[in-house]
Structure 1
Amino acid sequence: ISLGSNDALKLLLTVTNGGKARKPHQAFLTLVEPTTGLEESYPFTIKESGKAKVDLTHAALPPQFLRASKPLTAKIVIGSFGASTPYASPAFSLSISLDPSAPLASPPAQPRYAAQPHITHTFRADPQSPPKVITLVFLLAVMSALPILLGAWAALGANLNDLPAALNAAPISSTAFFGSVVAMEAVFFAYYTSWNLFQTLPVAGVVGVVAFVSGSRALTEVQGRRLAGKR
């Protein structure tokens, strides 16, 4: 059989087992180049009735087959699960006819493990702090808000009369909670001025755990005085 550049080979067959049409698990048309032994398989499209079909054109053939000097050997391979006997046998020879006016494409280069070009990566410079003028502007804005905050606390009835009672009932937790809040502010200040993220996170994690544990106990003491009507 000759397959030209504008031809299409259509192969139809019916698979039977024990005289009855069956649908196998797999069926292929395998082409073999006799000189090099190179193989390429094309699966059949199979229906439940056992009818199978495969189409073949030049576009489906590898470049090595198009350059073959001898006809290709076409084999039909059929197999399935169970006790059925598989089938694999040559069916015909396929001769590839080329169009003399059409240039033959070269096969793609195969990948090879070898040294690759050196990759040079330039890391970005560390982020810089904003200008001091902007920092001072925001610092003044925060400082100017402190009198407003203290005035609001005074207007809402905040006072320090309960501080001795809190220190007597839970001296360690109250002191640790207040100290952890101040320490966290110090950590943020150090991160802003000199520390990097890897220096800040471990310290902030330790201070955060202390604030969580001591704050829970300190607020429990405050809740107890509130429920007792002492606050």
Structure 2
Amino acid sequence: MILLKTALILALTSAAPEAAPAKSGCATTSIEVALRHLFERYKDGGTLDVTRDSGEPITPRFIAESLKVRDVPNGYALIENPDLIETFEAALFKNPNGYHLVVVSSGASVSHTAVFKCDAEGLKADNTALELSDAEAVQLYTDAGLLKANAKKGLSEKTLQDWAGSIVTLSLPRKGRVITIKANVDEPAGVYGKKLGTIDYVDGRFVVHSLAKKAR
């Protein structure tokens, strides 16, 4: 089974009963505040499952102290700490009603992507914001010219099906509102990191574009 489902993990676990969502300021929130609200609302970042080597709890203060890059004007942050197993990228996508916060992990065989939405109802996981099926991921490889039918050499669909890890990864924008979809398999040589498509944030929703087809 293609492990895209673990690459794009959007069905986040519910908050603990005692947790409270962010109550206000969605439209004017900065990346720092959005991350603080996230880790107040979801222990360990929901299914991001952020853990520390030391076993100490993940707290909003710890996350704030781990911001290696803090680009408030552009809504981008990089979370990195020797006590964290993975590195996390976060990007804020604002809309008239609030924002979406996307967090992507790297540094392990399976990268995790989580999406959260903040609006008048507060902060919550958005289970439908970024949906990409296994078949759609394979199609992205085909549209990018990386997948050949009945290939004896090079990348085949069977290679993707048998791949023991995430086959795609998302590169969040340092500036702008366009996420880049990249290949996450390193065999055969030259495939890893190839651009497969983009995801544009338009009118409060994420729109997928392959390299050969119109947006869906």
Name the TM-score class by shorter chain: under 0.3
Greater share of strand residues, 1 or 2?
Answer: 2
- Higher-Rg member (1/2): 1
| TM-score, normalised relative to structure 2 | 0.22
| TM-score, normalised relative to structure 1 | 0.21
Higher relative contact order (CA 8 A, sep 6+): 2
